[in-house]
A and B are shown apart, each in its own frame.
Chain A
Amino acid sequence: DTGVSQNPRHKITKRGQNVTFRCDPISEHNRLYWYRQTLGQGPEFLTYFQNEAQLEKSRLLSDRFSAERPKGSFSTLEIQRTEQGDSAMYLCAGAGDTDTQYFGPGTRLTVL
């Protein structure tokens, strides 16, 4: 158990709906990362935060995606107007003073 939790674990939605995922790292994780993983592939970087500051966003993160970490603790990832291509596992990872990232169990999104 890495101590990183994600909710919900599964989300099924209809195309065009908005969805929001939450990640709760442990308090020592001043850095927080979001990745997306599709079937049979490795995770792909989406964005990361240093405390509450969003420092980098991948080109994969279209305008329909937004992430926040308002108090430097938990983070949310919102997808607006979901598309079938958004179906994937969304993974969150926390990191502290070392370079090791501790991943949560992921949120599996299915867009119908």
Chain B
Amino acid sequence: SQQGEEDPQALSIQEGENATMNCSYKTSINNLQWYRQNSGRGLVHLILIRSNEREKHSGRLRVTLDTSKKSSSLLITASRAADTASYFCATDADGNNRLAFGKGNQVVVIP
């Protein structure tokens, strides 16, 4: 069964705007990861945040993790048309890296 669930499911924004996606999960985790997938392609790893971390940055990406609420958010700042993709959160519950993915968040950035 799917562990992560992203909200909202679909997001359409203008280029230059920020995009925020949320992910909730049910069980305790070792780490949470965000991936991007362009249409029909493989997944690209974006960022990993461990259960003892609260916030992480990578370029225009900012991820937060709230283990008390079992939720995470991904913020993409100053979005570009090339950011158009599906974004998935995935949780690793026990450190063996068997990832449980959410259903994904489709983001469309309009030039």
List residues of A whose CB falls within 8 A of some B CB.
Answer: 2, 4, 31, 33, 35, 40-45, 48, 55-56, 89, 91, 93, 95, 99-106, 108
Contact = CB atoms under 8 A, between A and B. Distances in A.
Grouping DSSP codes into helix (H, G, I), strand (E, B) and loop, the A interface class, with mixed when no group exceeds half, is strand
Contacts of A33: 97-99
A59 B2 CA distance: 14
Contacts of A103: 35, 42-45
B73 interface: no
Interface in B13-46: 30-31, 33, 35, 40-45
Contact of A48 (B30, B43, B95, B98): B98
5 contacts: A35-B101, A55-B96, A100-B33, A106-B42, A108-B40
A42 B102 contact: yes
A99 B32 CA distance: 10
Contacts of A48: 96-98
A95 B2 CA distance: 21
Given A99-B31, A100-B33, A43 B101 contact: yes
A33 B95 CA distance: 14
B97 A42 contact: no
Nearest to B45: A100
Ranked nearest first, the 4 interchain pairs of A and B with the lowest CB-CB distance are A42-B101, A103-B43, A103-B42, A105-B42
Contact of A42 (B4, B40, B44, B98): B4
Contacts of A44: 2, 101
Contact of A99 (B35, B43, B92): B92
